[in-house]
Amino acid sequence: MRPKTVLDEYEISPKKSLGQNFLHDPNTLEKIVTTAELMPDDVVLEIGAGTGLLTERLAAAARRVIAVELDERLKPVLDQALAAYPNAGVIYQDILTLDVAALFRDEPYIVVANVPYYITSAILRHLLESARRPRRLVLTVQAEVADRLVAQPPDMSILSVSVQFYGQPRVIAQLNRAVFWPRPDVDSAIVRIDTYEQPPVDVPDEKTFFRVVRAGFGQKRKQLKNAISSGLSLKADAATTLLTAAGIDPRRRAETLTLAEWAALTRAFAARTD
């Protein structure tokens, strides 16, 4: 049943403040499930259960589905939609406050989500930095964000560096705005991220890596020698020396660096003796 019909029945109106745009197109829903490549023994974390249309399909394909939904008004809708699926449960909580590592412990899981676009980056950070990160993520995101996730030099951002440090992102499909209700004001895309067991580059530790990356991107359009100097509290000549030691021209800008170059810069920073 279409979300508008269901929500009208329960006298529920979508909240723009929650970024509620409900997916209802059957072909798109099936595309998402197919992209997730679920096996009968898989466990799924769904973010944003909505009216349960995707949750039902996930529950039919996987062993267990844990859906997280912030809007408790949707409880009677989801109770009805999932009544036939004892392997699906809903947690009414903000995903950003959910302890994912405690929820899954040593159990592998896959994330499938039609996330509120205004917190996409925060959700990705919360999941990818978790002690128990998912094996795979399939997300419906704003098309502009999808492009940023898969960007390569010279168009890198702190988001693309961060996500590509943890996994390989791919844009699977562009979506017509008509597959949502209400229709969003922006274009959307399905993205799949396959996470790595170990980062693809050699760094001393994640904390130092991201400290260096944040410093590099801390001053937009600034040459790296200036951004690094400011962000890492180094003198200008020390920042130049650090970049040169990593094999990076100090005049370059953060968006031009590859993941391997960020790793080299991190190693040089960790090895400094000043």
> Per-residue pLDDT for 274 more than 60?
no
> Per-residue pLDDT for 273 more than 80?
no
pLDDT of 7-60, one tens digit each? 888 889 888 888 889 999 999 999 999 999 999 999 999 999 999 999 999 999
**Which amino acid is located at 113 in the chain?**
A
Residue 67 · residue 78 · CB < 8 Å: yes
Phi, psi of 138, rounded to the nearest 5 degrees: -125, 115
> Per-residue pLDDT for 188 more than 80?
yes
124 Cβ contact partners less than 8 Å away, ≥ 6 residues apart: 137, 139, 159, 162, 163
pLDDT of 72-104, one tens digit each? 999 999 999 999 999 999 999 999 999 999 999
With H, G, I as helix, E, B as strand and everything else as coil, classify residue 38: coil
A 10 A CB-CB count for 243 gives 25
pLDDT of 132-172, one tens digit each? 999 999 999 999 999 999 999 999 999 999 999 999 999 99
Strand (E) or helix (H) holding 44 = strand 43-47
∠ CA 115-167-259 to the nearest 5 degrees?
120
Q: What's residue 111's pLDDT?
A: 98
| 236-262 mean pLDDT | 97
A 10 A CB-CB count for 40 gives 7
| 202-207 mean pLDDT | 96
User: Peptide bond before 182: cis, by omega within 30 degrees of 0?
Assistant: yes
- Average pLDDT value over all residues in the chain: 95
Work out the pLDDT band at 186, boundaries 50, 70, 90.
very high
**Which amino acid is located at 103 in the chain?**
L
Residue 180 · residue 53 · CB < 8 Å: no
